[in-house]
Copies of this chain bind each other. A is one copy, B any other.
Amino acid sequence: MGKEFDVAIVGATGAVGEVMRLILEERRFPVRELRLLASARSRGKRLAFRGEEIEVEVLEEASFDGVDLALFSAGASVSRLYAPEAVKAGALVVDNSSAFRMEPDVPLVVPEVNPGDIDGHCGIIANPNCSTIQMVVALKPLHDRWGLRRVIVSTYQSVSGTGRRALQELEEQLRCWAQGGDGPVEVYPHPIAFNCLPHIDVFQEEGYTREEWKMVRETRKIMSLPDLKVTATAVRVPVRVGHSESIYAEFEEEVDPEEAREILREAPGVAVEDDPQRDLYPQALNAEGKDPCFVGRIRADLFLPNALNFWVVADNLRKGAALNAVQIAELWAGKTS
């Protein structure tokens, strides 16, 4: 029998934390003991894991005693405060927040793309932003074939990417609408039901949002392409789960859409759904609860022989967050066992 690990989930009651617990169980990650950590609001809550109920504990400095692996998904400020404590206690931290992603000594890892990068860690491995993960999973095999030069991406991101409260807000707005009223507008600055908001995370330099900058910087770091041109427009849409992306990708060499389809069919973590004549293309509703990054609408650009257009959809809570974090943990566990 292989090594087993004491595992903690920080933010265990959040939208991503919940899926982390599910995926540890699904993938039979070798958990000896699971510790569920959250804020005082969730104290005493009991959550199921492998048929047992585990009581949620309040996160504090001493929470990491004896923990081998800590999966963080409670926002950047919690990670900044507590991840160093977990490292001090001897745990490996896989952090789903943006707190450490761009630190030079913190690997930023998508196992299908840059698994080797985990070796450089100093106790923390960062999990990339959801919209970046699904994009690089699709771009990497195409880059290996033709050499990626430029990306222009527009996203269609679901509210669950913001967290559980945002999901509740969309649902509440729609329930109120069905009864002829208006729902609460608290999580986003504007209603999200029946609307599109070109605004994810805060606005930063040059008029781009932090989400858009993440897609530039994280893609460059993960793909080891420090000069890659990435232009992003990140948009929130009234979808519960599943991010969609419209991607224009320009390469060094002339591309062929049929070969791209074949390459992607063989690529790890990718499922090609691309048969327009049968109305088959990736959809957020179908991606929910599934692991792959679904790629479809693969077509040559009409004007540039070295460019492709395609459509990528993934479950943002799974591949965009919890699944990728557990895959990182698996890579690490494989090296530790």
Interface residues of A (CB under 8 A from B): 150, 152, 154, 156, 174-175, 177-178, 189-191, 194-199, 203, 206-209, 216, 229-231, 233, 235, 237-240, 244, 246, 248, 257, 276-277, 279, 281-285, 296-304, 307, 309, 311, 313
Are B174 and A244 in contact, CB atoms less than 8 angstroms apart?
no
The residue in A203, A208, A238, A246 that gathers the most chain B C-beta atoms within 10 A of its C-beta is: A246
Contacts of A297 in B (CB 8 A): 198, 207, 233
C-alpha gap A244/B304 in the complex (Å): 25
Contacts of A257 in B (CB 8 A): 207
Are A246 and B233 in contact, CB atoms less than 8 angstroms apart?
yes
How near does chain B come to A293, taking the closest CB pair, in angstroms? Answer: 15
Report copies per complex: 2
Contacts of A208 in B (CB 8 A): 299, 302
The secondary-structure label for the interface of chain A is mixed
Contacts of A279 in B (CB 8 A): 189-190, 199
A-B contact pairs, 7 of them (CB 8 A): A175-B178, A190-B279, A206-B299, A207-B298, A208-B299, A229-B303, A238-B239
Are A302 and B194 in contact, CB atoms less than 8 angstroms apart?
no
Contacts of A233 in B (CB 8 A): 154, 246, 297, 309, 311
Are B302 and A229 in contact, CB atoms less than 8 angstroms apart?
yes
How near does chain B come to A180, taking the closest CB pair, in angstroms? Answer: 11
How near does chain B come to A302, taking the closest CB pair, in angstroms? Answer: 6
Are A246 and B174 in contact, CB atoms less than 8 angstroms apart?
no
User: A174's contact among B177, B189, B203, by CB below 8 Å, is which?
Assistant: B177
The residue in A174, A302, A303 that gathers the most chain B C-beta atoms within 10 A of its C-beta is: A302
